[in-house]
Amino acid sequence: MRIKVGFGFDVHQLKDNHPFIVGGVNLEHHRGAFGHSDADVLLHAICDALLGAANLRDIGFHFKNTDPRWKGISSLILLQETVKLLKEKSFVVGNIDAMLCLEAPKINPHIPQMQENIAKAMGISIEDISIKATTNEQMGFVGREEGVVAYAVCLIEKV
């Protein structure tokens, strides 16, 4: 078996009175992430990690932000499509480790639901999905609540 590691990063601008979906969970907050799809920064970083590990380019290559098919779509669907692309190349996912960076809202209470959503979309165990969160200590665009950042690493195996 060949083991590969991938890294993903995503960032989205936050806007007032906009939905804030992270890990497939709609968070209650006065600001939300803005983007072509549902702007789920966590799932976008995970998709990029998976695609990169399999040498399949990046999320923008497969799900262009100029394509009306992806306008407003749930990023859980993008994640499912990403996993299909990996399966076509005979890869299975070993694990995901992800980090969210935002000032608010608090993410900890939502992590179990995010893990469940991701596990279901990917067809893997919740035990194989780690999600953590931190603040930016009120520094920079994240600290001013102008944006949200996510990082993800993954392990995939060729079968």
Residue 18 counted as an annotated binding residue: no
Tokens of 61: 């290559």
Instruction: For residue 144, say whether it is annotated as part of any ligand binding site.
Output: yes
Q: Is 58 annotated as a binding residue?
A: yes
Residue 82 in marked binding region: no
CA dist list (Å): 138 to 20, 75, 108: 19, 28, 18
Is 30 marked as binding a ligand?
no
CATH (domain of 29): 3.30.1330.50
Contact 12, 45 (CB under 8 A): no
pLDDT band at 1 (very low <50, low <70, confident <90, very high): low
- List the domain range (segments joined by +) for residue 149: 2-158
| Token pair in block for residue 36 | 């072509």
DSSP 63: S
* CA gap 115, 103 in Å, rounded: 21
User: Does 36 appear as a known binding residue?
Assistant: yes
Spell out the alpha helix ranges (H) of 22-66: 41-53, 59-62
The sign of the CA dihedral 80, 146, 65, 98 is negative
Taking the model in full, what pTM does it have? 0.96
DSSP assigned state of 65: T
Is 24 annotated to bind a ligand? Reply is no
Number of domains making up the chain: 1
62 is in an annotated binding site: no
Q: Is the peptide bond before 105 cis (omega within 30 degrees of 0)?
A: yes
Tell me the per-residue pLDDT of 91-108, one tens digit each, with 9 for 90 and over: 999 999 999 999 999 999
If we measure between CA atoms, which residue out of 86, 82, 40 comes closest to residue 61?
A: 82
Give pLDDT tens digits for 24-64: 999 999 999 999 999 999 999 999 999 999 999 999 999 98
At 114, which helix (H) or strand (E)?
A: helix 111-122
Q: Looking at residues 51-80, what average pLDDT do you find? A: 93
